Amino acid sequence: MLRIWGRLSSANVQKVVWMAGEVGQGFERVDVGGPFGGLDTAEYGALNPNRQIPVLQDGDLTLWESQTITRYLAARYGGEDWWEADPARRALQERWMDWMLSELQPALAPVLFGVVRKLPGHTEPEQIAAGVRRSEAKIAILEAELQRRPFLAGERPGIGDITVGCGVHRWLNMPVERAARPAVERWYAALIARPAAASALPLPVT
């Protein structure tokens, strides 16, 4: 059985938990990080020298970096449904994973830190408003894409949808004013209806 280390309030952990569910792998999840602590022990440092979550253990394999873990689970257990054999089709999925990490997550972070977590140094209204504007610009890109097709890279969900879905779950459930995005809302509703997503994406966002 897989072991996943990390609290479920982390979007990086959510990606991994959601992917494991989609590919039908049972797992044990260990709450570490955030209020649970546990990242500063020698044992945890041996699992991940960055002392971050998530970490996956699968038999003798220990992996960190959420996107790498997500790709591994898809490739190892997901078959053609989740790991496209064709490099072009796979790249169209993976592009969204990288976009999540480099564009959407950094845009959302000031909003999460300022509005939800109220972290010292992150609560200036102008800082939060800038984060909301930046997030809206990214969500507008999703809206345009999802007006053209049901999922980010075609007719069925893929690893890109799972990864970006964790960010959009956060965006749609934080107490901020948002522009109407009907295509994003339709896509999110289709994703969250999946049992693997529902159990990976807790509410409220914390």
Ligand X SMILES: N[C@@H](CCC(=O)N[C@@H](CS)C(=O)NCC(=O)O)C(=O)O
**Site residues (vs ligand X, CB under 6 A):** 10, 12, 33-34, 39, 52-54, 65-67
> For 154, which DSSP code?
B
Given the complex with ligand X, which of 14 and 21 has the nearer CB atom? 14
**Smaller CB distance to ligand X: residue 45 or 182?**
45
Q: 20-55 as b/e, with b when 16 or more CB fall inside 10 Å?
A: bbbbebebebbbbbbeeebbeeeebeebbeeebbbb
Q: Shortest Cβ distance from residue 15 to ligand X (Å)?
A: 8
Between 11 and 146, CB nearer to ligand X? 11
Q: Smallest gap, in angstroms, from Cβ of residue 190 to ligand X?
A: 25
β-partners of residue 154 are 151
* Shortest separation between residue 149's beta carbon and ligand X, angstroms: 27
| CB nearer ligand X, residue 21 or residue 52 | 52
Q: Which is nearer to ligand X, 17 or 146 (CB)?
A: 17
Closest CA relative to residue 155, chosen from 73, 93, 201: 93
**Nearest distance, CB of residue 182 and ligand X, angstroms:** 29
CB of 169 to ligand X, least distance (A): 14
Q: In whole angstroms, what is the distance from residue 174 CA to residue 160 CA?
A: 22
Q: By C-beta, is 23 or 69 nearer to ligand X?
A: 69
Burial class (CB in 10 A: 0-12, 13-18, 19+), 167: buried
Shortest Å, Cβ 68 to ligand X:
8
Residue 66: how many other CB atoms lie within 10 Å:
27
Distance, in Å, from the CA atom of 16 to the CA atom of 20, rounded to the nearest integer, reads 6
Cis peptide before 110 (omega within 30 of 0): no
Which residue's CB comes closest to ligand X? 33
